[in-house]
């Protein structure tokens, strides 16, 4: 599949979703709830030898869209 204008691109800005908690950087509790949890223990954010998944992709997309993402459609 190739990129599609209007629905593909880089995000124009980042969305804060993490915090220092329980001795490490973790996904904020409210965000974990919105995403339906993630596959890492207690929302831990870090390098992993495997892909981390969100618990409910539809919930994640609802959260992402609530952040009003704007896409950059340039290759630079």
- Is residue 4 domain-resident? no
Alpha helices (H) along 1-76: 29-35, 57-66
Asked whether residue 61 carries a pLDDT value surpassing 80, the answer given is: yes
The mean pLDDT value for 34-50 works out to 85
Q: What percent of the chain has pLDDT over 70?
A: 96
Predicted local distance difference test score (pLDDT) of residue 5: 77
Cβ atoms within 10 Å, residue 53: 13
- Is residue 57 domain-resident? yes
- Is residue 39 domain-resident? yes
- Is residue 50 domain-resident? yes
- In which domain, by residue range, is 53 found? 29-71
Number of domains in the chain: 1
Where residue 76 falls among pLDDT bands split at 50, 70, 90?
A: low
Instruction: Tell me the three state secondary structure of residue 1.
Output: coil
Closest CA to 69 of 26, 7, 24, 19: 7
């Amino acid at each position: 599949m190739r990129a599609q204008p209007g629905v593909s691109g880089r995000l124009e800005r980042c969305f804060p979703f993490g915090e220092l908690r329980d001795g490490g950087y973790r996904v904020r509790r409210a965000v974990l709830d919105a995403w339906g949890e993630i596959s890492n223990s207690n929302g831990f954010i870090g390098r992993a030898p495997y892909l981390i998944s969100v618990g409910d992709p539809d919930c994640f997309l609802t959260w992402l869209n609530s952040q009003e993402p704007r896409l950059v459609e340039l290759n630079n």
